[in-house]
Amino acid sequence: MSDAHESHHGNYWKIWAWLCALLVVSVAGPFLEIQAVTLITAFGIAVVKAYLVAVHFMHINVAKRYIVYLASTTLIFMLLFFAAVAPDVMQEDGSNWTKPAWIAEAQTPPTVHGGANPH
């Protein structure tokens, strides 16, 4: 094998190690129970991991320029779609809006049955 080929695969292992380390941090972050830390570890690290995968494993950095523009345009349209539908989808109530049964069941308080323990 050539040295260039050998170092190319070495970068894959380094990036994989970084991705594993970031996974550990993103899983451990919510255990601190600090909302800001949880949000940073959940979303910030996810963005960094997605960037590392796109650049190093999908080779976006060496692709033709129109591929980068196409991927960027797709991401922008996805974010615009989410921004457009989020106000409607995330509402608790509204006209012609029905709450799904599984949400309604989770919000009803449990009933207390009197009498002997059935177990």
Q: Are the CB atoms for 50 and 23 separated by under 8 Å? A: no
The whole-number pLDDT of residue 102 equals 72
The pTM assigned to this predicted structure is 0.52
Backbone torsion region of residue 109, taken as left when φ is above 0, otherwise alpha when ψ lies between -120 and 50, otherwise beta: beta
Per-position pLDDT tens, the chain of length 119:
445 444 455 588 888 899 999 989 888 888 888 888 888 888 888 889 988 888 888 887 777 888 888 888 999 999 999 999 888 777 777 777 776 777 767 777 766 665 555 55
pLDDT of 79: 92
Query: What is the per-residue DSSP string for 32-46?
Result: G--HHHHHIIIIIHH
